[in-house]
Amino acid sequence: MDERETDPMVPTVLRVRSRRRDGPQVWTLELDAGAIERTGFAAGQFNMLTAFGIGEVPISFSGDPAQPQRIVHTIRAVGPVSGALTRLGAGAALAVRGPFGTGWPMREAAGRDVVLIAGGLGLAPLRPALYQLLAERSRYGRITLLYGTRSPQEILFRREIDSWRKRTDLMIDVTVDHAVQPWQGHVGVVTALIARARFDPGRTVALICGPEIMMRFAAEALGTAGVANGAIYLSMERSMSCGIGSCGHCQFGGLFICRDGPVIPYDLLREPLRVREL
Partner 1 sequence: MSLELQAAQLLTSQGLDQLLKALRRGGCRTVGPTVRDGVIAYEDIDCLEDLPRGWTDEQSGGHYRLRRREDDALFGYAVGPHSWKPFLHPPRQRLWRTHRDGDTVRMQREAPDGQRLALIGVRACELKAIAIQDKVLLGGAYGDPHYRARRAGTFIIAVNCTVAGGTCFCASMGCGPNLTAGFDLGLTELGAAGPPAFVLQAGTPAGSQLLEEIPHRPATANEIAAARARVQHTAEHMGRQMPTEALPQLLLRNLEHPRWSEVAERCLACGNCTMVCPTCFCTTLEDSSDLTGRETSRTRRWDTCFTVDFAFVHGGSVRQSTRARYRQWMTHKLATWHQQFGTCGCVGCGRCITWCPVGIDITEEVSAMRTSEPT
Binding site for partner 1 (CB under 8 A): 3, 6-13, 50, 52-56, 78-79, 91, 93, 95, 237-239, 241-242, 244-249, 251, 253-254, 256, 259, 275-278
Q: Quote the least distance from Cβ 211 to partner 1, whole Å.
A: 9
Specify the residue, 234 or 242, whose C-beta has the smaller distance to partner 1: 242
Specify the residue, 44 or 58, whose C-beta has the smaller distance to partner 1: 58
Q: Quote the least distance from Cβ 46 to partner 1, whole Å.
A: 14
List C-alpha distances in Å: 188 to 23, 46, 117, 220: 20, 30, 14, 17
Specify the residue, 65 or 101, whose C-beta has the smaller distance to partner 1: 101
Q: Quote the least distance from Cβ 143 to partner 1, whole Å.
A: 30
Specify the residue, 51 or 193, whose C-beta has the smaller distance to partner 1: 51
Q: Quote the least distance from Cβ 201 to partner 1, whole Å.
A: 31
* Residues with Cβ within 8 Å of residue 164, at least 6 apart in sequence: 130, 134, 145, 170, 172
Q: Quote the least distance from Cβ 183 to partner 1, whole Å.
A: 26
Q: Quote the least distance from Cβ 275 to partner 1, whole Å.
A: 5
Specify the residue, 92 or 225, whose C-beta has the smaller distance to partner 1: 92
Specify the residue, 201 or 245, whose C-beta has the smaller distance to partner 1: 245
Q: Quote the least distance from Cβ 272 to partner 1, whole Å.
A: 9
Specify the residue, 89 or 182, whose C-beta has the smaller distance to partner 1: 89
